[in-house]
Chains A and B, each alone.
Chain A
Amino acid sequence: MSVASQDSGMRQGRVARVFIYLVLLLFGLFYLLPLYVMGVNSFKPLSEITGGGMMALPEVWTVEPWLKAWSTAQIGVEPTGLRPYFWNSISMVVPAVAISTVLGALNGYVLTKWRFRGDTILFGLMLFACFIPFQIVLIPMAAVLGTLGLAGTTAGLVLVHLVYGIGFSTLYFRNYYAVFPTELVRAAQIDGAGFFRIFWRILLPSSGPISVVCIIWQFTNIWNDFLFGASFASGGGAPMTVALNNLVQSSTGVKEYNVHFAGAILAALPTLLVYIVAGRYFVRGLMAGSVKG
């Protein structure tokens, strides 16, 4: 009797499981659909797209749209392709991510291990950076950049992203270090290590997961930012996102959808890569930061 009921229980479980997987598969396909469309169409000659059949595989495979998007497409008035703008983005993202992560880690270290009067208020104020809509700061930021002589430069964009990024990176590291045992810091103090030595030798080596979270977060945010790029960078100094917009929105000539698709994938590629390389640390780091081990 009990054996039979257990058996049927297992069978029911298996049916439910198959059903769940089917549903998940369906959703997965649905989410992958746009990527599929972009992918297949970026390898087609334009005539195949305009001839209809967005969903069909290319009859003639070609990398021409990719080459064109990368190096010869018309961006604004110059036929440069996306290449120079890609490097603009890289030279904006790398320093902005690196500096905001390091500063966030330092802030988190000070806010948890070198507490001072008013530290929670200060932290609360820093969190405003996470909540204030970007649009609000556009005009004051423009004024600041102008005063500093950084208007329209990549350095100016780095500064903007840095200021905005520190709020998040501080939040991450503060929460992570809050559960980091303070006794370790005290032991290191007795051992004779100073402020930076403790940070460098004791805390940072244990900060792998949260650093990955912070880097992924900052990288995707800064790379994908359009508003600041469009507002504070001009012409040849624009980041990839702005250039992609200029490529797609150009109002003259034929709309080269295949080139647009290739360009869009090119623009999304770095963030995709970051997720693939570091993604498994992402969830782990988020958990570590939020829940006490």
Chain B
Amino acid sequence: MGFLDIDNATKSYGAVEVLHKVDISVEEGEFLVLVGPSGCGKSTLLNMIAGLEEITSGEIRIKDQVMNGVHPSKRNIAMVFQSYALYPNMTVRGNISFGMEMHGIPKAERDRKIGEVAELLQIIPLLDRKPGQLSGGQRQRVAMGRALTRDPDVFLFDEPLSNLDAKLRVDMRTEIKKLHQNLGTTIVYVTHEQIEAMTLSTRIAVMNGGYVQQLGTPKDIYDTPANLFVATFMGSPSMNLLEVEIETAETGLRVSTTNAQGAPLHLTLDNPSDALRQFAGRKAVLGLRPEALTDAEGVDQRSVHIERFENTVSVVEPAGSDTFVTTVLGGKDCIARMRSDTPVSAGAPVTFAANMEKVVFFDPVSEARIP
């Protein structure tokens, strides 16, 4: 039993099932991020936790209390909306106090709480302004302040940063993380930005088409994606995926692909898993993150298995901190992440180093990862 249990929760609109038997158990103090492309059902799930959408079948429990049919205001949750949903006719003070007023908290207590929250979020000078007079970041703070006054069991965030500009988004991201570290409240956070999911969460649920594709820590999700969808959705630039031939070699297995010129290229595999051995003589999809494909000097020195090969560079994109180098492997573009000062130029050959410890394989038919 967790702190927040989503137990076989299903949502249908008429005959259309949009969320299929979702099973997630969240521990107290966790920061769970629901991430996925639009239409994957993540916001619907959040609204079901909030009580704004009914649960078609299954159960949602908070602190072992079944929440099905319980009014949103009785669930002891707080929600921050994408549009912030600040009441336009009330001042910031009125916005923050409204919820407490509805719950019959006396005026003195309300004022004390408003003071506390306003100080925490540094919005004291804004208290008597109307939401229309605030900037995006300030509105965001007020929306969080309103949620904070409730001392909720669970905080729900519905894409709270998507209306902010890029720089402010990064700042507010840090601030939300700080807030979570200071308060330790359980948070469920919906976003379509994989980077927000990676940086904020203690656990991520990657969703697509109404199914949870994978539930795990950011590291699990990033290093060992459950299937091709998760592999491509998480990470930017996304994981390089090559269709390769698995062949038996003296030491175990090797993968066979082609370099930019179409000549065969072999990479050996140490200690292949039993499941992968089954693929000997067949095709599989090889997945390699851009940072696991580097220049010879930039490779992770602690890695025990590095394969070096020479290949022609097709595009060089310096990004300041790194240089992204595109090359062709097995007929497909692959992106390598090299040190910023690496001397590479388009059209010239360069030595690539692949960190074979980080390589993952997927079944080309089922698209699931080969363990």
Residue of B nearest to A207 (CB): B89
Q: Are B102 and A183 within 8 A (Cβ)?
A: no
Q: What are the residues of chain B within 8 A of A190 when measuring CB–CB?
A: 50-52, 72-73, 77-79, 99
Alpha-carbon distance between A106 and B360 when the two chains are bound, in angstroms: 59
B82 CB-CB contact with A under 8 Å: yes
Q: What are the residues of chain B within 8 A of A192 when measuring CB–CB?
A: 73, 99, 102-103
Tell me what chain A mostly uses at the interface: helix, strand, loop, or mixed. helix
B229 CB-CB contact with A under 8 Å: no
B81 CB-CB contact with A under 8 Å: yes
Q: What are the residues of chain A within 8 A of B73 when measuring CB–CB?
A: 189-193
Contact residues of B between 281 and 312, Cβ < 8 Å to A: none
Q: Are B89 and A186 within 8 A (Cβ)?
A: no
From A186, A190, A193, name the one whose CB has the most chain B CB atoms within 10 angstroms: A190
B138 CB-CB contact with A under 8 Å: no
Q: Shortest beta-carbon distance, A205 to chain B, in Å?
A: 4
Q: Are A197 and B87 within 8 A (Cβ)?
A: no
Q: What are the residues of chain B within 8 A of A183 when measuring CB–CB?
A: 81-83, 85
A181 CB-CB contact with B under 8 Å: yes
Q: What are the residues of chain A within 8 A of B102 when measuring CB–CB?
A: 191-193, 197
Alpha-carbon distance between A187 and B98 when the two chains are bound, in angstroms: 10
Q: Shortest beta-carbon distance, B73 to chain A, in Å?
A: 3
The interface on chain B, measured as residues whose beta carbon lies within 8 A of the other chain's beta carbons, has a size of 21
Q: Shortest beta-carbon distance, A41 to chain B, in Å?
A: 49
B88 CB-CB contact with A under 8 Å: yes
Contact residues of A between 197 and 238, Cβ < 8 Å to B: 197, 201-202, 205-206
Q: What are the residues of chain B within 8 A of A205 when measuring CB–CB?
A: 89
Q: Shortest beta-carbon distance, A250 to chain B, in Å?
A: 53
Q: What are the residues of chain B within 8 A of A181 when measuring CB–CB?
A: 83, 85
A137 CB-CB contact with B under 8 Å: no
Q: Shortest beta-carbon distance, B116 to chain A, in Å?
A: 18
Q: Shortest beta-carbon distance, A212 to chain B, in Å?
A: 16
Contact of A186 among B78, B85, B98, B103 (CB under 8 A): B85
Q: Shortest beta-carbon distance, A268 to chain B, in Å?
A: 35
Alpha-carbon distance between A202 and B52 when the two chains are bound, in angstroms: 18
Q: Shortest beta-carbon distance, A198 to chain B, in Å?
A: 10
Q: What are the residues of chain B within 8 A of A159 when measuring CB–CB?
A: none
Q: What are the residues of chain B within 8 A of A188 when measuring CB–CB?
A: 87, 98
Alpha-carbon distance between A226 and B87 when the two chains are bound, in angstroms: 43
Alpha-carbon distance between A216 and B101 when the two chains are bound, in angstroms: 35
Sort A-B residue pairs by CB-CB distance and give the 5 closest, nearest first.
A192-B73, A191-B99, A192-B102, A205-B89, A187-B85
B residues sitting closer than 8 Å to A (CB atoms) are 50-52, 71-73, 77-79, 81-83, 85, 87-89, 98-99, 102-103, 146
A residues sitting closer than 8 Å to B (CB atoms) are 181, 183-184, 186-193, 197, 201-202, 205-206
9 contacts between A and B (CB under 8 A): A184-B88, A186-B50, A186-B81, A188-B87, A189-B72, A191-B102, A193-B73, A193-B102, A202-B87
Q: Beyond the given A186-B52, A202-B89, could you list 8 further A-B residue pairs with CB under 8 A, ordered by the A residue number?
A: A184-B85, A187-B85, A187-B87, A188-B98, A190-B51, A191-B73, A192-B99, A205-B89
